[in-house]
Structure 1
């Protein structure tokens, strides 16, 4: 059996670590294309100026448009060529990071998250969206980022919603890795040449990936609430550091080498709902966790453990929590159909899943989540 595991070349996490960014740029050259929206650049400008001066490097700003689309990536690739940049930096949230991956095409890439809302930073894959913000496709590259650099003081200053959203994304890691392992399904780590059929032989997950995914879940349960409290106060604590690592490193390695299943497929289906566009990736994923647990008829103890955790930190447990106050049967069918297209990860479940099953799981997850939330509020 062929197995595969993939990871970034270097992961560095610590307080004020952004001051060392210039050192890593210097390993590639002297000029870096900085893909980040202007607000994120302004938040960290003082540190960028200090590290540029200290290490003698130059950052080329790009006025990133905010959507990880093919159109935006093409524009930035032309800019990188025009400016003769030696490396690419993706600084900010998931959209800037994924755009940087597309622009870099797997080479000389430094990822600097300013929020930990998704597990995108460590992976060799990117999620592409249309200009309108709907899910488009996945892109895969030859390798994971060269450097992932985390400044925990910056993360602590970010709105807590982003940290909680990242925990929503990380919450899916163990359950999807477990399902993929049980199904002996293929994982993205085995596709360094891209997702095209026949280019690279498929690979299964490793015990290492599943162990990391399980540790991710255990860390969330242990430190999630404490980390949220630290974030609310804009301070760095051991619990916050552990959750930053869980959101980015454990979840990133866990999903990519452990596999995706129904949760992220249902997330992709939910993106077609206009009312859900205000919810973050991780918030929609968190609801998808409940849907997958319903699909696989997970033990009640496990289901209610997830619900309790989600409610304790403010993650969605029903459709209304992601902005969808009502949904027609036609809309629900469209969500389920998109979740079940041939390319989707839902087919990595250890049993066959069809559109009607997904519709039923979403309905039950929504009703169960609403009821459980109401009962908790009444106590």
Structure 2
């Protein structure tokens, strides 16, 4: 039909829907003020119920097709969880995406999503937030009260497919990365100067190739080096570094959860003489004396911040005094205007 004036009535939750609009083209718009949960909508035309009335106003959630994403940063946890001594920096969130029976992602809320996590002797209810866009956020701690504890998720009373879920993503040592030669470190033993101490930074990566944002992996380094868990997916290793190729340079072996990292053992950065720079004619004490400053650069083009490279200089065949500043620079005293300087 292409004209209006039919008597269209609608009810929802036992109440009449006031906003029924005749579009005068054979269609009618029904707008309810609000509804609590999924309330069926009854429709009558000229006093007769339409076929199929009452109608479900919300698409039906299929818990077996819904998805969950674990290990996202954030989370606030329940009082029970906080009282168990969990580190707040370790708190995480899981994000549930509801899907209807036709396999389409839902964009509305009001599903009943429940989550629990087992502890040593108690099961804790987890805080679930309805984002009203078809997704739900679950606050949890990946380590639980007694190590890694799975979480159970139910939607409208039915367990999600795959539930319970492991709360800790699995670390893949072969995809983890390491950054060497960073300034810092706390070691000052065996005659190493404090300025020579360095750190290496390990970034853990899970089996899906995603950077991890939680700690508690078992990271070990050779030479009894100190490893600090930063609880953000990274680990700091204190190193006693010398540039790769220098006398006494030792590689570092790194294991994660008992498996050697890809590329381990790792060498300290290697000096590239072709990228190193020099500044000449710097002021120095003494008449006619000048100072040159050499900046060591590694093979990646980065300025080095450690010493112990072997730097030699001559002027007209005579050896010059070279001072290692132990910060990646070397000073050379020479005589201005006297012979060739190498």
Report the TM-score, using the length of structure 2 for normalisation.
0.20
Structure having the higher helix fraction is 1
Structure holding more strand per residue: 2
Which structure has more RCO (C-alpha within 8 Å, separation ≥ 6)? Answer: 1
* TM-score calculated relative to the size of structure 1: 0.19
Higher-Rg member (1/2): 2
